[in-house]
Structure 1
């Protein structure tokens, strides 16, 4: 029996097709990939707790936004070295073993941080040192893990696997910072770090159950020659090289996260909870865009998709700067803005801007991950993934220096407003100068 037609004048609501939703086929096709995905998601959630807690901890100890920015900056050079070295290790040895050893170092640094907090032994320098160790070891884990994915799945499922990674990022950055803000506010730093230790153990579950995964093709032992070979390949790989450059631009000029503790404390009010909410907003956007990522996996012109997504990202960051400018002029502000009396209207507007930026960055990430995994041969995939991790993780640290320095000498609203406009202009110019990038075809991937 057919359904009755809708009454006259009542519009028929569009139905959401299952084709619009995320493709879960990779989880069904490869149990090994599914276990690794679950483990990395839980461990990443704990890692985000610690990242936000350390930022808040540093701001509490120093009251200085620049000191918070320096957490990211201090780890930049060690993280670059670790990412490159991790990529070389992944191209020379069993990638599962490489990831396990690095994960053990990450776990140990988090455990030590919790011990220091429980005994009130933490200092500014301990926070810097353990942040550097944690981020460096995690770079090696990521380089090895990302090199493993194309060995577990066929090429046609790589876009769906990248979208699932967006779900991971969405969960860990959406729940992690918000939970960190609440835990720090109501229980303190020690409990926050301890929860990360518990969640971090899930990483071992995902990695221990993997089979041994050795690189295919000619093996070059880690060292200068191995690095040269990887860089030589990148010089010939115009599409991969340009997407790295575009991401560096986006992360350098569009990363206001290091400003959020000060924004929550002095500009929008709400303190740690506002910091957690705004940081989580980025992940909300990433999560929602991954949930509805079905059509993204069917787009063939992935270079054009990267360009458009990053430009939307820049526009969202510029809009976030405008919201902060309104706060600086007292728009919608209560009589006094502080930790207990936040500017709720502008916090909501700022959260929307950051959610859009998170969605756009996630769409770009799906295309960029797929391009690297599909177009790069397995023999050099670890080294390219190492460079990719350096770009993805190093860009925000350079961005933290840009934002922290500019905010120190200007105002909190100025770095995101200027940076967003710079992103839109530079990305459009570089892609226009490299038309081959716009015509990249996912069915015929060329590096």
Structure 2
């Protein structure tokens, strides 16, 4: 059992990791309240699955532009300050959603406008968050830190949608927006306690040239490209959350809306709580491909069955597969990317695991509008299986990656060891 339980060493040894973890937990919890409230409010205002899925289209362009630029900012500015200011901006935007609910007839366009602006701020913030972790956690503890960070997300993803379902059913979307705004205030207060995380000496100002340098590095690493491509395909074809309100109605189980949003996180949490085995796996690319195939199969089954309990079970299984994929993608990135490029690569990574879901919402909403919610889910799962299988064949370096011998992972490991030795000698 000790070998299966998650390793808590990063939590015990790093004060900054604890603060960052707690701030992230609070933010994730609140964000999932809004994550459920916005599509449900759009459904009530428009009655259209296509209108709900169009939220993903509104979020796409800001995420692409700001995700890439946010990566350059993370390499050129103090990462703590960047996280703090974007957190404050996200809180203000959630407050705008609350103010819209106070109108006699709430408007539709602010939901899309706020979704686009939230996507922009998320694109600016996420690279700094991800690039900060390798600075505050020793290299050998990065797999454990990644597992704990995923666990944080899962706890919020379970509690947030579950509470949102209860709150919205009893009192509407307004209290969900109020609570989300409050969580941003608390998260910003925790972020203030972090030590400064300034740019590396000699860091260049944010520029298009710097962004292109990161893109060229990513292109040179075919195993990294493989992780991006596999996740993008899996999310585009098999990310069904936009049609959950319609799926619950089709199954005659409106009570299941909150559990549908939370089911994937339940499966992910099970993997996290038994994730001690992850540090003993070295061929991370194979795990990424295998878990993406599992995600597609589980989604196909979730759309095919008629029993809502089986739907929830398969959604949970999909969440477990997604957790395995995310864990080994993040470990590959953290252990093999140099610190000077980490922010820009984190921006590219953000696009790979965020653009897919945004496009996936559009895909699943449009398919549901043409067919049914259930058809849009199972057809997407089958398309995911086919696309991931083709990518695995086309990208052999992803399957052959081994962190023990990969030249990039070895170089970063040696650099971190040299830095730790220098710090110890100076002390």
Q: Does 1:52 align with 2:13?
A: no
1:396-435 deviations in Å (ceiling 9; x for gaps): 0111111111111122222222222222232223223332
- For each residue in 1:296-335, what CA deviation from the matched residue of structure 2 results, as whole angstroms up to 9, or x when unmatched? 2221111111111111111101111211xxx3xxxxxxxx
Q: What secondary structure does 1:413 align onto?
A: helix
Q: Which residue does the alignment assign to 2:50?
A: 66
Q: TM-score, normalised by structure 2?
A: 0.92
Give, in whole Å, the separation in 2 of the partners of 1:351 and 1:405.
Answer: 23
Once the two structures are superposed, residues 66-121 of structure 1 have per-residue CA deviations (whole angstroms, 9 ceiling, x without a partner) of 11111121111011111111111001111111111111111110122222323446
Counterpart for residue 240 of structure 1: 224
CA RMSD in angstroms, aligned pairs only:
1.5
Q: Find the counterpart in structure 1 of residue 127 from structure 2.
A: 143
Given that residues 218 and 379 in structure 1 are in contact (C-alpha distance below 8 angstroms), is that contact kept between their aligned partners in structure 2? no
1:402 aligned residue (358, 363, 366): 363
Kindly tell me: are residues 121 and 92 of structure 1, through their superposed partners in 2, closer, same or farther at Cα, counting changes over 3 Å? farther
Match of 2:260 among 271, 278, 287: 278
**C-alpha displacement of 1:359:** 0.4
Tell me the CA shift for residue 60 of structure 1. 0.4
Find the counterpart in structure 1 of residue 284 from structure 2: 302
Please name the residue that 1:311 is paired with.
293
Conservation of the 8 A alpha-carbon contact between 1:313 and 1:360: yes
Instruction: Return the structure number with greater helix share.
Output: 2
Aligned to 1:268: 251
* Separation in structure 1 between the aligned mates of residue 210 and residue 14 of structure 2, nearest angstrom: 31
Structure 1 position 218, deviation (Å): 4.5
Change (3 A) 1:179 1:120: farther
Deviation at 1:160, TM superposition (A): 1.0
C-alpha contact 1:310 1:361 (8 A) present in aligned 2? yes
1:124 aligns with 2:108: yes
Query: What stretches of structure 2 of length at least 5 have no aligned partner?
Result: 409-427
SS in 2 for 1:431: helix
Q: Secondary structure at the match of 2:373?
A: coil
Partner of 1:4: none
Compared CA separation, residues 402 and 195, structure 1 to 2 (3 A): same
Q: TM-score, structure 1 length as denominator?
A: 0.88
Alignment of 1:351-366 (within 5 A): 351-366=312-327
Q: Find the aligned partners of 1:445 and 1:179 in 2 and give their Cα distance.
A: 44
Quote the residue 1:188 is aligned against. 172
Following superposition of structure 1 onto structure 2, how do residues 3-42 of structure 1 map, counting pairs within 5 Å?
17-42=1-26
Q: Cα distance, 1:288 vs. partner?
A: 1.0
| Separation of aligned partners in 2, 1:42 and 1:62 | 31
Q: Equivalent residue of 1:20, what SS? A: coil
* Mapped contact 1:43–1:201 kept (Cα < 8 A): no
Do 1:175 and 1:280's aligned partners in 2 also have CA atoms closer than 8 Å?
A: yes
- Indicate if the aligned counterparts of 2:8 and 2:144 stay in contact, CA closer than 8 A: yes
